[in-house]
Amino acid sequence: MKVSYEKLFEILNDRGISKTSLGDALSLSSTTLAKLSKNEQIAMNTLIGICDYLNCQPGDIMELKREENKESLLYRLTEEKDARLKGSIYHQTQIKFAYNSNHIEGSRLTEDQTRYIYETNTVELEKEPANVDDIMETINHFQCFDYMIECANNTLDEVFIKNVHKILKTNTSDSRRSWFNVGEYKARKNMVGDMETTPPEKVKEEMAKLLNEYWDKQNITFNDILDFHVQFEKIHPFQDGNGRVGRIIMFKECLRHNIVPFIIEDNLKMFYYRGLKEWSNEKGYLRDTCLTAQDRYKAYLDYFEIKYDDN
């Protein structure tokens, strides 16, 4: 994995800030400035300091560029996305992910209807009328997945998270409610089941804290991704759509850190909810559920002869 600060120097140039001025303003050492010029890794707290000074996100100033591996899942997903290849791992993942993630949240569309929308860009109603929001959020989830693939190697940040929510909720009935704040944090209190979540006025602070703690980790593990997901869902930063946004984030971070991703299927829903609720006391419930989901996705990788490292 190679780091690039090309975006940082573009921002500095646009704002008329020299590298020396940046160093003086933040008391950066000559060694740190040299690392920036040579595209070498710098300390995360230094990166965050630069972001605070420039009022931006890590993904705005730094890119992680992975050496192209034509046998990797991300390469295959990217290649097949660009080709819109039918019958591929990309094709199957789009349908399975959109159907299950939406169905967990109450969508009444069947998997066959989800497949029909993806493959024909039309709706098959059969006997039962379809909810317009269910249709829009299915289409939007396909777009969220494409956006996630494009950003897979980028540092997870607030911009990505908000953009996923915006894409997911665009043109739904929720988007026509001004207080709903599509693509922005919630304006009204919400709950997960009977559990209270972070109040609106504290969401930005809690999300910044969560991201900072995540960025501080040197080597992201499977458990780290699950822990981020649990904390994200406890904050519940958006008025609605938090579960789907959170599961997109997990898929992205698995791709970025060479961990086999997974899709929480509808028949794992109750185990998944239990795992989220019990995480602070017993991590095994959620971990085992996600490992089961991961094993199911590995079966697809085996079928399509895509190599992966066991984790």
**This prediction's pTM:** 0.85
Enumerate the CATH 1.10.260.40 domain ranges in the chain, comma separated.
2-65
As given in the structure block, the two tokens for residue 140 are 């939007």
Model confidence pLDDT, tens digit, residues 202-251: 999 999 999 999 998 889 999 999 999 999 999 999 999 999 999 999 99
Enumerate the CATH 1.10.3290.10 domain ranges in the chain, comma separated.
73-303
If we measure between CA atoms, which residue out of 62, 92, 81 comes closest to residue 143?
81
Sequence letter at residue 263: I
What is the maximum span of the chain, computed from C-alpha positions, in angstroms? 70
Q: What Cα–Cα distance (Å) separates residue 165 from each residue in 1, 17, 104, 134, 146? A: 28, 33, 17, 15, 14
Q: What is 73-303's CATH superfamily?
A: Fido-like domain (1.10.3290.10)
If we measure between CA atoms, which residue out of 105, 249, 229, 240 comes closest to residue 181?
240
Q: In 114-151, which positions are buried (b, 16+ CB within 10 angstroms) versus exposed (e)?
A: bbbbbeeeebeeeeeebeebbbbbbbbbbebbbbbbeb
pLDDT tens string, the chain, 311 residues long: the values are 678 899 999 999 999 999 999 999 999 998 999 999 988 888 888 998 999 999 998 889 988 765 567 889 999 999 999 999 999 999 999 999 999 999 999 999 999 999 999 999 888 766 677 899 999 999 999 999 999 999 999 999 999 999 999 999 999 999 999 999 999 999 999 999 889 999 999 999 999 999 999 998 889 999 999 999 999 999 999 999 999 999 999 999 999 999 999 999 999 999 999 999 999 999 999 999 999 999 999 999 999 999 988 65
As given in the structure block, the two tokens for residue 48 are 């965050």
Mode of pairing for the β-strands spanning 195-196 and 191-192: antiparallel
Q: Count other C-beta atoms under 10 Å from residue 190's C-beta.
A: 16
Residue 59: enclosing H or E segment and its boundaries? helix 58-61
Q: What Cα–Cα distance (Å) separates residue 255 from each residue in 14, 72, 191, 224? A: 32, 9, 30, 14
Check whether domain 2-65 has CATH 3.90.1150.10, yes or no = no
